[in-house]
Amino acid sequence: MFFQSIGTAALAALTLASPTLSTQTFVNTGTLSGWSTQNIEDKGSIISVTNVVYNGTSALKMTQVYDSSWTGRFHSEKIKTQVYKLGDEGFYGFAFRLQENWQSTPAQSFNIGQFIADFTNTGCDDWMPSSMVWVIGDQLATRVKYGSICNQQLKEWKNLKTVTPGEWHTIVINANWQSDNTGYYHMWYDGEKVVNATNLPTMIDDSRAFDFHVGIYANGWHDDKGMKGTQSTREIWIDSVGIGTTFADADPTRIQG
Average pLDDT of the residues in 102-130? 97
The answer for residues whose C-beta is within 8 angstroms of residue 29's C-beta and 6 or more apart is 55, 56, 58, 239, 240, 255, 256, 257
Count: domains in the chain? 1
Number of other residues whose CB lies within 10 A of the CB of residue 208: 14
* Assessment of whether the complete model's pTM goes beyond 0.75: yes
169 phi, psi to nearest 5 deg: -130, 160
* More confident call, 9 vs 104: 104
pLDDT for residue 138 is more than 70: yes
The per-residue pLDDT for 21 is 74
Cα atoms found within 13 Å of the Cα of residue 130, Cβ hemisphere only: 29
Structure confidence at residue 170 as a pLDDT band (50, 70, 90)? very high
The per-residue pLDDT for 152 is 98
In the beta sheet, which residues pair with residue 92?
A: 173, 243
The per-residue pLDDT for 3 is 33
Average pLDDT of the residues in 80-87? 98
Q: pLDDT by residue (tens digit) across 181-229?
A: 999 999 999 999 999 999 999 999 999 999 999 999 999 999 999 999 9
H and E: helices and strands count for the chain: 4, 15
The per-residue pLDDT for 136 is 97
Classify residue 168: in a domain, yes or no. Answer: yes
Q: What DSSP string describes 161-225?
A: -BPPTTSEEEEEEEEE--SSTTEEEEEEETTEEEEEEEEE--SBS--SPEEEEEEEE-HHHHHTT
pLDDT for residue 108 is more than 70: yes
Domain carrying residue 235: 23-254
Classify residue 173: in a domain, yes or no. Answer: yes
pLDDT for residue 254 is more than 70: yes
Classify residue 193: in a domain, yes or no. Answer: yes
Classify residue 212: in a domain, yes or no. Answer: yes
Classify residue 34: in a domain, yes or no. Answer: yes
pLDDT for residue 17 is more than 60: no
The per-residue pLDDT for 69 is 97
What is the CATH classification number for the domain harbouring 44? 2.60.120.200
Classify residue 55: in a domain, yes or no. Answer: yes
Classify residue 2: in a domain, yes or no. Answer: no
Mean pLDDT over each residue of the chain, to the nearest integer = 93
The per-residue pLDDT for 20 is 57
pLDDT for residue 14 is more than 90: no
Residue type, 5: S
Classify residue 7: in a domain, yes or no. Answer: no
pLDDT for residue 28 is more than 80: yes
pLDDT for residue 146 is more than 80: yes
